[in-house]
């Protein structure tokens, strides 16, 4: 392994890519400590550290994961990449519905560039909307003084508008950094920024766990140490299982027609390859979908706290109380939603690929299966079977940390964060592997 790392450093352009990536991540971390002007972050930090409202802590904790702890300090990049991720999901869901977007997805690199541009356009109003909603919710909760934020008051319009623009600009700045890393670094820029966000919070999480263990275990009891050891063991087991499932795939054999020129003439033949169908092709997206759906009643209940429509306010407040993360059925519903969204998202992504039509146009076929509709039905059946196992696994992973205690919404963050870390590390290793093989070096893992 050390020899592989040394060989990476000896390749000049690859070394420059790694250094460029590190430099961009350092710039991002500097931005994470620049606060939004006119807002006191101490009250927000106190609110996030309190346990008065577990569901709201889960909401802001999820946003804090994507911002690398910047939400607690209320920095200019405190919204992180969440609006851009939402815009990307919206674009993927709209492609099968909007014919023009579906046509762009089939136009190769130029079409993908156009779709990426449209995604950025969608991310800007989504970032503005999230900034306004986030600030309004914090004002409604009393975390931020109402005199500091009011878009419909002439005295506070300019400060409020500048705050919204600052938060939106911070998100788009992170998108720009991610694209720079993708183009000039080692790739996967957006994922690497999210990965850096999660890794930054690990020392604080470990420190909090050790402090909690020492305060609960004391000198007379080893219960805290046992709990900590159980958490570490569960984390290692989940990491191993995630790597195994993330790498797992069903390889469907495919034969392509080939022609070879010899002295005696041209001979036709066949080349056999395979289609890799991933067991978990949805990644962490189902976790975000499910948690957002379950957090919606909490957000609406807090928005409608001072509403004149008491019937609507009481309705969402009852839903908020029923969907409290301390109830066992909350986690049952959450696991079921994760499994359902895994199926849904994997199916949507698969339909966008039009694999059966592409195989037929290239003259390729699956042995024993007729081209066209029979091939599509055959591949869909395989996808549904393996996705069923992936969906059950992801649902279990999402709720597994809940068995170690009542930490509220932290279970969602642990599962989502661990899944992101595993995926990004594996993708980065593949990128380095491809770069080294391309330069006639032995692979990073071989």
At 304 the three-state DSSP class reads coil
Dihedral (Cα; 8, 9, 14, 15), 10-degree rounding: 150
CATH topology of domain 1-209: Preprotein translocase SecY subunit (1.10.3370)
Q: Which helix (H) or strand (E) holds 263?
A: none
From first to last of its 446 residues, what are the pLDDT tens digits of the chain? Answer: 566 667 677 777 888 888 898 999 899 888 888 888 777 777 776 766 665 555 566 666 666 666 656 777 788 888 888 888 888 888 887 887 888 888 887 777 788 888 889 999 999 998 898 888 888 777 777 777 777 777 777 777 888 888 899 999 999 999 999 899 988 888 788 888 888 877 776 666 666 655 655 555 444 445 556 666 776 777 788 788 888 888 888 888 888 877 666 556 556 667 788 888 888 887 777 877 787 777 777 767 766 665 666 777 777 777 777 777 677 787 888 888 888 888 888 888 887 777 888 888 888 888 888 888 888 898 889 988 998 888 888 888 778 766 654 444 444 456 667 777 787 787 787 777 777 777 655 555 55
Distances (CA, A) of 146 to 108, 141, 302, 373: 50, 10, 15, 60
How far is residue 87's CA from residue 53's CA, in Å, rounded to a whole number? 28
Backbone angles phi and psi of 106, in degrees to 5? -100, 0
At 367 the three-state DSSP class reads coil
Burial of residue 440 (CB within 10 Å: 0-12, 13-18, 19+) is exposed
Task: Name residues whose C-beta falls within 8 Å of residue 285's C-beta, 6 or more positions apart in sequence.
Answer: 89, 341, 345
How far is residue 207's CA from residue 25's CA, in Å, rounded to a whole number? 23
Task: Name residues whose C-beta falls within 8 Å of residue 323's C-beta, 6 or more positions apart in sequence.
Answer: 55, 294, 297, 298, 330, 333
The CA-based angle 298-33-81, given to 5 degrees, is 50
Residue ranges, comma separated, of all CATH 1.10.3370.10 domains in the chain are: 1-209, 230-446
What count of other Cβ atoms lies within 10 Å of the Cβ of residue 241? 15
Among 67, 71, 60, smallest CA distance to 82 is for 67
Backbone angles phi and psi of 269, in degrees to 5? -155, -165
pLDDT score at 406: 45
The CA-based angle 274-279-284, given to 5 degrees, is 130
pLDDT score at 212: 56
* Structure tokens given for 214: 């020492």
- Give the relative orientation of helices 82-94 and 328-353 as an angle to the nearest 10 degrees: 50
Q: So what CATH class is 230-446?
A: mainly alpha
DSSP class of 401: G
At 215 the three-state DSSP class reads helix
């Amino acid at each position: 392994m050390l020899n592989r790392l040394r060989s990476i450093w000896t390749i000049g352009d690859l070394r420059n890519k790694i250094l460029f990536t590190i430099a961009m991540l350092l710039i991002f971390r500097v931005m994470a400590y620049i606060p939004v002007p006119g807002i006191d972050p101490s009250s927000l930090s106190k609110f996030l550290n309190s346990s008065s409202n577990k569901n709201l802590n889960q909401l802001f904790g999820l946003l804090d994961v994507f911002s690398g702890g910047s939400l607690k300090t209320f920095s200019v990049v405190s919204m992180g990449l969440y609006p851009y991720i939402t815009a990307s999901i919206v674009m993927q869901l709209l492609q099968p519905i909007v014919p023009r977007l579906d046509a762009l997805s089939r136009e190769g690199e130029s079409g993908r560039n156009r779709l990426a541009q449209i995604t950025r356009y969608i991310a800007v109003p989504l970032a503005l909307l999230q900034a306004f909603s986030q600030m309004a919710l914090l004002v409604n909760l009393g975390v931020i003084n109402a005199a500091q934020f009011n878009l419909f008051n002439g005295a506070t319009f300019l400060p409020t508008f500048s705050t919204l623009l600052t938060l939106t600009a911070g998100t788009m700045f992170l998108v720009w950094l991610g694209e720079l890393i993708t183009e000039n670094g080692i790739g996967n820029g957006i994922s690497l920024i999210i990965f850096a966000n999660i890794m930054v919070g690990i020392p604080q999480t470990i420190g909090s766990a050790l402090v909690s263990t020492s305060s609960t275990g004391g000198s007379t009891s080893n219960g805290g140490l046992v709990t900590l050891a159980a958490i570490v063991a569960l984390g290692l087991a989940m990491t191993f299982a995630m790597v195994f499932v993330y790498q797992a795939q069903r390889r469907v054999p495919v034969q392509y027609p080939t022609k070879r020129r010899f002295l005696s003439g041209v001979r036709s033949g066949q080349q056999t390859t395979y289609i890799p169908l991933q067991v978990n092709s949805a990644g962490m997206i189902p976790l975000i979908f499910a948690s957002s759906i379950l957090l919606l009643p909490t957000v609406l209940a807090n928005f409608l706290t001072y509403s004149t429509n008491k019937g609507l306010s009481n309705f969402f407040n009852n839903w908020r109380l029923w969907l409290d993360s301390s109830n066992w059925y909350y986690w049952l519903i959450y696991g079921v939603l994760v499994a359902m969204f895994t199926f849904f998202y994997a199916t949507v992504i698969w339909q966008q690929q039009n694999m059966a039509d592409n195989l037929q146009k290239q003259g390729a076929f699956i042995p024993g299966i007729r081209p066209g509709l029979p091939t599509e039905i055959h591949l869909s059946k395989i996808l549904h079977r393996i996705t069923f196992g992936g969906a059950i696994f992801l649902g279990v992973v999402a709720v597994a940390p809940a068995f170690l205690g009542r930490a509220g919404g932290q279970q969602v963050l642990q599962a989502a964060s661990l899944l992101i870390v595993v995926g990004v590390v594996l993708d980065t290793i593949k990128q380095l592997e491809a770069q080294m093989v391309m330069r006639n070096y032995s692979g990073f893992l071989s």
